[in-house]
Amino acid sequence: MTLLKKPLENDRSPRDSFVSTASHSRSTSSAQAPPPAYDGQQEAGSSNVEPALPSDFTARLESLTIDPLPRQGVPAPHECIAHLKLLEAFHNLRQDIESTHGLFGIASPTIPSPPTSHEEALEQKIETKHDDLDEGAEHKIKQVREKRWAVYVSRAVERYEKWFADCVPKLTAGKSKGPLTGHALLEEPMLHEAAGLMGERLNDFFPANLPPLDVLMVWHSHTLNPRIFFEDCLRYGAMDFWATGLPWASINACIDNTTFEYDVDGLVKAAWISSSGLSWDNLDDPPERRLRCPCCTQATFLSVPWSRNAGFRCSSGASFVPGDGYADRDFAEQCPNCKRTITCDMLQVHRFRQDISRLLMEDVPLGGTILDHQGRPPCRTSRTQLSPPTLFASVWIKDGVHVKLLKATDLRRDHSANLDTVRLVLEEVLSDRKLGSTRRKGSGPGHTPTVRERVSVRRMMSRYWDNRSIFGIDLVGAVVRQGTFIEKMHNIGWLFSPALYSTAARLVTKYSNFFKIMALFPSEMAVPTLDVDLAWHTHQTSPSSYYSYSVATCHGVFIDHDDKVEEAKLDESFEWTSKIYQRIFRQPYSECTCWYCEAVRESHTSSLSRLFKMGNATASASLHNDDAAATSDDPHAGPHISSHNSVRTNNSFAWSAARRAHLEKAYAAAVRRAKKDGRAPPEREKYYVAKGRELDEKKNREAAGGYYYPYAAACAPFVGYAYAGAYPLGAAGYAGGDPGDFLTVLCAYNLRLHSLFLFWHENRQHHLRA
């Protein structure tokens, strides 16, 4: 007998025209109860009824006072709390989208349906987070939900792009000065110092022009790539928008203190609809994307579904199909006019050609060619009239290489052209000594490109790989990666803690210390914990304030926040950061008691340092003192390593075995230490790093099925958080060429020696007093 089929999920049904549930009052209890622990798992035997909010919870959040004008220096603790509220609103939005059954036509997996009584039992199991489902079934559910979210985010990015292009004022210091040009980079000597200070706040633009929550989410992720956001605003003449940043006072007032629903006045919604031509609700926009064919000579427009043929299409539900709609990984649509199939590769090439047209017609430099290794427009002195190496790719292409590029990427002649075609043309020209020579102002007949100028070409290409938007980064991937951090903030539950305000004040202080480490050790990559990263993210959402603080603290360098760091480098650098932080500040860096953090602390705490009670030993011991009230009993509820920007490359797998052995040895030592001190040893987890790391990697791979997802091969050359010593190739230290670079590194080296001397002297005085 053939059994009936039913969806594996027990989600809500979609409403007509994909109307979102996010803009209405939430019926779920997730916003009305404290979130689960760090790993998001329920304890065995726990009740499914979530506890009510604390009686003083709403009053606690209503006491927030946020200055409409961003403060100088580090962010205010109240801004970090408002940021947590916004992240909770993002989390709720994602839960709504992921749990809407049938959204975007993505097919859910099905299973044979037994009798009715068993169906009801199965639904009950699904409602309790699939506790009793097999791992394969739960994995399929996650794939579908991640796919819905990825398509939704793709729509949000398109809406943000239209808002940025049509509604955001293109002003600099209150005037329409247009985008930054190559001529200005060559002729304005003060641009290096003044570029980050040119904008003025748009005091009258908000709150009347606040965007919907999905657009706000994309804007938020855009600002968390500080150098790219800076460069994008320079290239589009929107420096006043850059100087304004996220209006935290207005945003905080629009988020309910109990449900965390984001709601604005009706006049704000009407202004959005009128100015953007879009619906307030993402899902009220058309289910198809209007697209112009990049191959046709005459304008030909197509209506393409955002997602098509995606999900578990077969009755057996054996495998997940990524789909071929506009937001899908395998996008393909045949033009009815020229009969050619439009793909993601074509759209990326088309975008590159558009930027070349802007370069030729408006003198707007290509992406990746404006900022130098310090994250600012290059400094030009009276000693030289040469074009800065950073700008080389734009000058070189404008001077003549554009002819070969435009010919090779003409989609009307060759519809197979892609960014690999661009790369091959550039490599061919660079390898030809004669063709590779180009004139620079005041340089004579020409020259062969130097290493730093070749790096300029590579950095320029990094802005276009796997990116069809007008910005310097694939914002869909950026938002997806931020989802991991948002989930961790929800699970830790600081927002629901009675100690919320003291926690916020403490993490701001810790962030300030973290920045001092980056200033003292410019050639190293410092990795934040989750609490530091929250303050860091909050600071970056006020770009002008963050820029001024970074430049002043780090010797003229605008610190970037790379959201794609190779996993092995991230892990090793976290251990280094933890060791240095504890040595300098005599406080534990990761206040997390999971086995991974315990092993890391043990690995850099020697028997000698315990004997003499040096910084690392006293900091680690303080975490387990009886008066350590700030340390949670839950090993996963503490400020863990912030790994949402971790990506895995081929080298990661070879590294894992050696790293696992190192951590196993350190973990064994941590267990012995705990037993000696009379403490319970840290619980051993399944994975060699904290649970979130492997699960995050798995989740990112699943999200990749919803949208093309760039891995480390497409990373920008500014690798990690290192700055002054970080040559654009990603190497640390002096690489030659610019005497200014050498002096910067030399000064940083002297600062490092000075800090080490102070550390030694302080410990010596401590032992003499003892």
What gap in Å lies between CA 279 and CA 273, rounded to an integer? Answer: 6
Task: Give me the residues paired with residue 100 across strands.
Answer: 12
Where does 99-189 show beta strands of DSSP type E? 110-112
Burial zone of 151 (CB within 10 Å; 0-12 exposed, 13-18 middle, 19+ buried): buried
pLDDT of res. 641: 52
Q: How distant, in Å, are the alpha carbons of 246, 623, 721, 727 from that of 523?
A: 31, 29, 9, 9
What gap in Å lies between CA 277 and CA 657, rounded to an integer? Answer: 54
Cα pseudo-dihedral 334, 336, 337, 339, rounded to 10:
40
Is a pLDDT exceeding 90 seen at residue 75? yes
Nearest one of 493, 487, 656 to 570, comparing CA atoms: 656
Is a pLDDT exceeding 60 seen at residue 706? no
Residue identified by tokens 């700008």 is: 391
Looking at per-residue pLDDT, the higher value among 489 and 28 belongs to 489
Is a pLDDT exceeding 90 seen at residue 273? yes
Residue identified by tokens 């200014």 is: 740
Mean pLDDT confidence for 28-55: 43
Please give the single-letter amino acid code of residue 70.
Answer: P
pLDDT of res. 183: 93
> Would strands 301-305 and 288-292 be described as parallel, antiparallel, or unpaired?
antiparallel
Is a pLDDT exceeding 90 seen at residue 600? no
Rounded to the nearest 10 degrees, what angle do helices 567-585 and 500-520 cross at?
100
Instruction: Mention every residue, 6+ apart, whose C-beta is less than 8 A from residue 618.
Output: 586
Tell me which H or E stretch contains 342.
strand 341-343
Q: How many CA atoms lie within 13 Å of 10's alpha carbon, on the beta-carbon side?
A: 12
Secondary structure (DSSP) of 164-220 = HHHTS---BTTB---S--HHHHHH-TTHHHHGGG-----TTTTTTTPPPHHHHHHHH
Looking at per-residue pLDDT, the higher value among 661 and 179 belongs to 179
Neighbours of 407 (CB within 10 A): 12
Task: Give φ, ψ of 641 to 5 degrees.
Answer: -60, 135
pLDDT in tens, 427-438: 999 887 665 555
pLDDT of res. 730: 28
Looking at per-residue pLDDT, the higher value among 389 and 149 belongs to 149
Specify whether the CB–CB gap between 392 and 449 falls below 8 A. yes
pLDDT of res. 139: 86
pLDDT of res. 375: 95
Is a pLDDT exceeding 60 seen at residue 6? no
Task: Give me the residues paired with residue 565 across strands.
Answer: 646
Q: Which pair of tokens denotes residue 483? A: 């989802």
Q: What angle do CA 605, 593, 607 make, to 5 degrees?
A: 15
Is a pLDDT exceeding 80 seen at residue 288? yes
pLDDT in tens, 143-184: 999 999 999 999 999 999 999 999 999 999 999 999 999 999
Q: Is the peptide bond before 739 cis (omega within 30 degrees of 0)?
A: no
pLDDT of res. 695: 41
Looking at per-residue pLDDT, the higher value among 684 and 70 belongs to 70
Least confident of 19-23, 107-111, 462-466: 19-23
pLDDT in tens, 188-214: 888 999 999 999 999 899 999 999 999
What gap in Å lies between CA 559 and CA 511, rounded to an integer? Answer: 14
Task: Give φ, ψ of 305 to 5 degrees.
Answer: -60, 145
Is a pLDDT exceeding 80 seen at residue 541? yes
Handedness of CA 108, 112, 116, 122 (dihedral sign): negative
pLDDT of res. 450: 85
Under the banding of pLDDT at 50, 70 and 90, the label for residue 637 is low
pLDDT of res. 57: 74
Q: Which of helix, strand or coil describes residue 425?
A: helix
pLDDT of res. 573: 86
Nearest one of 404, 458, 406, 409 to 432, comparing CA atoms: 404
Is a pLDDT exceeding 50 seen at residue 648? no
pLDDT in tens, 494-527: 998 888 999 999 999 999 999 999 999 998 999 9
Please give the single-letter amino acid code of residue 580.
Answer: I
pLDDT of res. 108: 87
pLDDT of res. 297: 87
Under the banding of pLDDT at 50, 70 and 90, the label for residue 256 is very high
Q: How distant, in Å, are the alpha carbons of 5, 99, 174, 202 from that of 12?
A: 18, 6, 47, 41
Neighbours of 451 (CB within 10 A): 14
Q: Which of helix, strand or coil describes residue 646?
A: strand
- According to DSSP, residue 280 is labeled S
Specify whether the CB–CB gap between 554 and 522 falls below 8 A. yes
- Average pLDDT of the chain to the nearest whole number: 76
What gap in Å lies between CA 704 and CA 702, rounded to an integer? Answer: 5
Under the banding of pLDDT at 50, 70 and 90, the label for residue 571 is confident
What gap in Å lies between CA 701 and CA 707, rounded to an integer? Answer: 10
Under the banding of pLDDT at 50, 70 and 90, the label for residue 723 is very low
What gap in Å lies between CA 456 and CA 149, rounded to an integer? Answer: 35
Is a pLDDT exceeding 50 seen at residue 49? no
pLDDT of res. 202: 93
What gap in Å lies between CA 405 and CA 308, rounded to an integer? Answer: 33
Burial zone of 284 (CB within 10 Å; 0-12 exposed, 13-18 middle, 19+ buried): middle
Q: How distant, in Å, are the alpha carbons of 18, 65, 589, 606, 625 from that of 529?
A: 38, 26, 8, 23, 21
Under the banding of pLDDT at 50, 70 and 90, the label for residue 679 is low
pLDDT in tens, 114-145: 555 555 555 545 544 444 456 678 888 999 99
Looking at per-residue pLDDT, the higher value among 638 and 164 belongs to 164
pLDDT in tens, 391-418: 999 999 999 899 999 999 999 998 899 9
pLDDT in tens, 305-342: 999 999 987 765 578 999 999 999 999 999 999 999 99
Under the banding of pLDDT at 50, 70 and 90, the label for residue 68 is confident
Most confident of 152-156, 386-390, 599-603, 608-612: 152-156
